[in-house]
Amino acid sequence: MATTSLPTVVSAGYGGEIDEVTWAKISPHLGAEYGVIGEGDWRVTSDTSGTYRVKVAPGTAFGMGVFDTLGIEVTHTFDTIASGTRWDVLYVRRTWSGAGGTTTLFSAPATAGGELPGTRQHNPGVLDEQPIALVQLTFGQTAPTQVVDLRLWQANGGATAVSEKVLQYLSIPGTEVRIGSDHWNRQVNGSGVAYWTRTPTAALPLLAVGGTAAGGSPPAGADFKMQIGHGVYQSDNLGYIRVTLPTAFGTGMVGALPLLTDAMTHPLGRLQVGYQAGPAHSRSDFVARYLDGAGNVVAGGLVRMTWLAVGW
């Protein structure tokens, strides 16, 4: 374990009064456990000019109500390594004891797989450690061989990070974090156990060629959406099956693809979706026609169908 003192850091939130200028700077970031303010604030990078050393960029980091502004770049040196590789965690360590409290840099071993250890101190108001980087040290290499960014940015009701490993130190239910194209939310189940849910947010690029089933032509650059379903359906006296979508598309539907999984009435049957004749499609439903193996209409027939619809 190694500690680096920060004689130039200016802290607000340990004790005493906060003036109006400081309050104006920190108030947009209140409501979060941890974070940094600027894109490059407290960024940790490998220092190739030293041994087992990293550089920490100036800026403002905050945790548990304390805001620490570092005016200049500082370095931190890790404990030596005798063989193999080792992961260490670099923390912003805050101690509330004494007059005014103290903020330092502190490093300690992570797990062998590069995860946050269970030994991290988390007792706000007494002693708390904010992870800002995981650093890999390799025997025979003077500079760190990997640096994983554990910083978090929070403001205006949202938070973002660059590594999913930040989820290991964010524990309060209700926490929401955007990491890459995924949205993570900390929820609580019926047994009172907290867990993370992941919702991908990346749009799937699709191109619509030719005519569409409903809604005219999609605008250039439209974000298409897909819906999929499965069920047992019965054709009407003309062989048509109307499938209602769970959620209507906002503007139109490019088309639908019905997949016949079990032709219950006619084992050699098939489904057909036509756009030139028959009942009209809409942004909320589509129509398929049930045909037998010879292409004849199957009236009142049952079919088990999986379908895929694309719209915008």
What is the 8-class DSSP label of residue 214? B
Same domain, 102 and 240: no
**272 within some domain:** yes
Centre a 10 Å sphere on the Cβ of residue 123 and count the other Cβ atoms it contains: 10
Distance (Å, whole) CA 182 – CA 200:
4
**What pLDDT was estimated at residue 102?**
93
pLDDT above 70: residue 204? no
Query: How many angstroms from the chain centroid is the CA of residue 50?
Result: 35
pLDDT band per the 50, 70, 90 thresholds, residue 177: very high
* Backbone dihedral angles phi then psi of residue 300, each to the nearest 5 degrees: 65, 25
Q: How far are the Cα atoms of 11, 42, 106, 120, 170 from residue 26, in angstroms, in the given order?
A: 11, 16, 24, 26, 20
Choose one of 102, 132, 157: the last residue of a domain: 157
pTM: 0.66
Q: Which helix (H) or strand (E) holds 167?
A: none
Say how far residue 229 (Cα) sits from the centre of its chain: 26
The pLDDT value given to residue 256: 87
On whether both 8 and 151 belong to a single domain, the answer is yes
- The alpha-helical segments, DSSP class H, found in the chain are 20-26
Cα torsion 186, 148, 65, 180: sign: negative
Residue 218 lies in a domain: no
| Residue 52 parent element (H or E) | none
Neighbours of 12 (CB within 10 A): 20
Task: Tell me the pLDDT tens digit for each residue of 213-272.
Answer: 788 888 777 778 889 999 999 999 998 999 999 889 988 888 888 887 776 766 667 787
The Cα–Cα gap between 261 and 244 comes to 18
For residue 212, being part of any structural domain is answered with no
Instruction: Look up residue 238 and give its amino acid.
Output: L
Q: Does residue 11 share a domain with residue 151? A: yes
The verdict on residue 203 lying in a domain is no
CATH number of 133's domain: 2.60.520
pLDDT over 90 at 209, yes or no: no
For residue 144, count other CB atoms closer than 10 A to its CB: 23
**What is the C-alpha separation between 59 and 38, in angstroms, rounded?**
7
pLDDT tens profile 252-268: 888 888 887 776 766 66
Q: Are residues 33 and 143 in the same domain?
A: yes
Question: If you average pLDDT over residues 285-292, what whole number do you get?
Answer: 89
End residue of a domain, out of 107, 135, 157: 157
* Among 289, 295, 212, 296, CA closest to 243: 289
Distance, CA of 161 to CA of 154 (rounded, Å): 9
Q: Are residues 232 and 111 in the same domain?
A: no
pLDDT tens sequence across 13-44: 887 777 778 888 777 777 788 999 999 999 99
Residue 139, pLDDT score: 95
> Averaged over 2-18, what is the pLDDT?
85
* Domain limits for position 12: 2-157
- Residue 115 to residue 134: CA distance in whole angstroms: 8
Residues 142 and 229 in one domain: no
Of the residues 101, 132, 157, the one at which a domain ends: 157
Q: 172 lies in a domain?
A: no
In a domain? residue 215: no
233 within domain boundaries: yes
Count of the separate structural domains present in the chain: 2
At 202, the pLDDT band (50, 70, 90 cuts) reads: low
103 pLDDT band, cuts 50/70/90, is very high
* Radius of gyration, alpha carbons of the chain: 29
Query: Is 179 part of a structural domain of the chain?
Result: no
CATH number of the domain within which 302 lies: 2.60.40.3940
pLDDT digit string, tens, across residues 43-93: 999 999 989 999 999 999 999 989 999 999 999 999 999 999 999 999 999
- Which among 173, 119, 163, 131 is positioned nearest to 34, based on CA atoms? 131
